[in-house]
Amino acid sequence: KMILNTSYGSDGMNTEKYNKIKLLTKDKTIEAHIKQQWMNDRKLADNLYAVQFNPKNCKSNTCLKVAYFTLDNAKYWYLNFIYNFMYKCLDMTKIHFVEGDTDSAYWAISGKQVVLNDTNQQAYEDNLHQGFKYIIKDQQFYDANAKYYFPTIVGDKQDEKKLLGLSIENEGDEMIALALKNYYIHTFKHNQLTDVIKLKGVNLRQNSICKQDVIDNIVNGKITQGTNMRLGQLADQLQEGQLSKTYC
């Protein structure tokens, strides 16, 4: 996980509202319906309406230079780590790329294997934290350069979140990815292995989805529909709405 790119969202998102609202009579409201800028209206009284327009011009005070620098820097550092570190000191025949984003990547590593049985649960879990330890082909290069990427002080959050640094987001024994931000992983949560589903745009508390749904999509092409429930205000009343989502 790349730490610096976490500022991209806050720097690049424009949170300002550009809707323009006017109070008009009934006749003027009817005329407003034929304008391209008209969006919506709401009756306030017998001859008074609140009319919402989408203005032709607007301005943004968002610091786009910082946002785009952050994104471009993340892309550069992402590739720099792969080609100038991983390819030079790791056995890439034992690494498989599973899923990635602009600031993170998940890799399947074929290192030391411990077969789980009834007597070695702790040894099995400890082995999942091996990282790149058993696939290093140039130990001298790794020791000389790992400090520029990975945390060097155990338990030090400041060192873990250093600029241009990398940190481990998840470790586990199984992962299935359908797309970016759409995957299943068997990873550690609260010091124990558990199933974790990540689906962008889908409220997992309101939709039941499991590992088998992801497998069925790959094997059988099964499409699963979900529904996000939301609350909104309409005519001074809080009402419940639904938004359908296709998540795998």
pLDDT digits 0-9 by tens, 211-236: 888 888 888 888 877 777 766 555 55
Contact assessment for residue 155 and residue 139, using Cβ atoms and an 8 Å cutoff: no
The percentage of residues in the chain with a pLDDT greater than 90, rounded to a whole number, is: 18
Q: pLDDT digit string (tens) for 118-172? A: 888 888 888 888 889 999 999 999 999 998 888 887 777 777 777 777 888 888 8
Residue 108 binned pLDDT confidence (cut-offs 50, 70, 90): very high
- The rounded distance, in Å, linking the Cα atoms of 98 and 106 is 5
Q: What is the pLDDT of residue 154?
A: 72
Q: Where are the domains of the chain?
A: 17-53
State both tokens at 28: 């003027």
Name the residue with higher pLDDT: 58 or 25.
25
